[in-house]
Amino acid sequence: MKYNNLRIEEENGITTITINRPKKLNALNRETIEELHDAFDTANKDEDTKVIIVNGSGEKAFVAGADISEFADFDVSEGKKLAAQGQELLFDFVENLSTPVIAAVNGFALGGGLELAMSCHFRVASDNAKMGLPEVSLGVIPGYGGTQRLPQLIGKGRAMEMIMTAGMIDANQALTYGLVNHVTTQDQLLPLCEKIATKISRNSSVAIGAAISAINANFKDGVNGFDIEKQEFGNCFGTEDFEEGTTAFLAKRKADFPGR
């Protein structure tokens, strides 16, 4: 697929997806959401890709939200459809990928932008980043999972305050809240993400996929995370990666995981 709104680079097992609508602060219009779905799906299926990094182009924004101009005249049923389609195509989709996804939050991450960052497996921010869910200032609520993932990540009281005030927090506040794992300079943001990605890529990709599934199970209604952990743990024993990992350890050499 040819992308109008994304740039993709693949190097050393890391695929970097850059959302590229800088004049609109990388706002997520429908086309960008469809392209992101395709790009994440392609990278997840690519055997050479061990980690995916997503960021925004330009120095100002990761993503400044869903594209307001596209939904300003929607009615109730169109609003419901917008949230349902977006969650299925992008936000739930990213959260449940077996390939680790790091959000490199390089500026404004607002509304759908923060929701995209929160769908990723973890977040690293540059020190100019600003994060918030300003939807109630537009007369709507977060519709791409924000009311669910923000309290999961930072606790209910803080999420209530952020959503009700429609305010923004800076990168250091986000670090204190646990919304991002690290804060660095803009220059160092991608290098730091790549350093973490390289460390991840040395481990078993099959086991990492199983760990993502077990961790996510904790947040799913009607699913017992401990049961999923037992199943995923057991399944690991049937993989070539497990055989290689344990054999290499006992032979006192570095494992070279086949990823199967």
CB 144 → ligand COA: shortest distance, Å? Answer: 9
Binding mask 138-177 toward ligand COA (x if CB under 6 A, else -) reads x---------------------------------------
Active site residue 115: yes
Given a contact cutoff of 8 angstroms between Cβ atoms, the answer to whether 37 and 75 are in contact is no
What is the end-to-end Cα distance of the chain in Å, rounded? 27
User: Quick one: which of 35, 95, 115, 135 contacts ligand COA (CB under 6 A)?
Assistant: 135
Edge-to-edge order in the sheet of strand 6-11: 6-11, 14-19, 51-56, 101-105, 122-126, 182-184
Instruction: Return the half-sphere exposure (C-beta side, CA atoms, 13 A cut-off) of residue 22.
Output: 10
What backbone torsions phi and psi does residue 183 show, to the nearest 5 degrees?
A: -125, 135
Q: Are 129 and 150 in contact (CB under 8 A)?
A: no
**Does the active-site annotation cover 135?**
yes
CB of 36 to ligand COA, least distance (A): 15
| Residue from 95, 115, 194, 232 carrying the catalytic annotation | 115
Count Cβ atoms below 10 Å from residue 65 Cβ, excluding itself. 27
Which residues neighbour 175 within 8 Å (Cβ) at sequence distance 6 or greater?
125, 181, 182, 183
Which residue in 45, 59, 69, 233 binds ligand COA (CB under 6 A)?
A: 69
Pick from 8, 68, 200, 248: which binds ligand COA (CB under 6 A)? 68
Select the residue interacting with ligand COA from 110, 162, 193, 196 (CB under 6 A): 110
* Choices 12-20, 65-73, 91-99, 190-198; region in contact with ligand COA by CB under 6 A: 65-73
Q: Which residue in 35, 95, 135, 194 is the catalytic one?
A: 135
- Mind telling me the catalytic residues? 115, 135
Which residues here bind ligand COA, judged by CB under 6 A?
A: 24-25, 27, 64-69, 108, 110-112, 134-135, 138
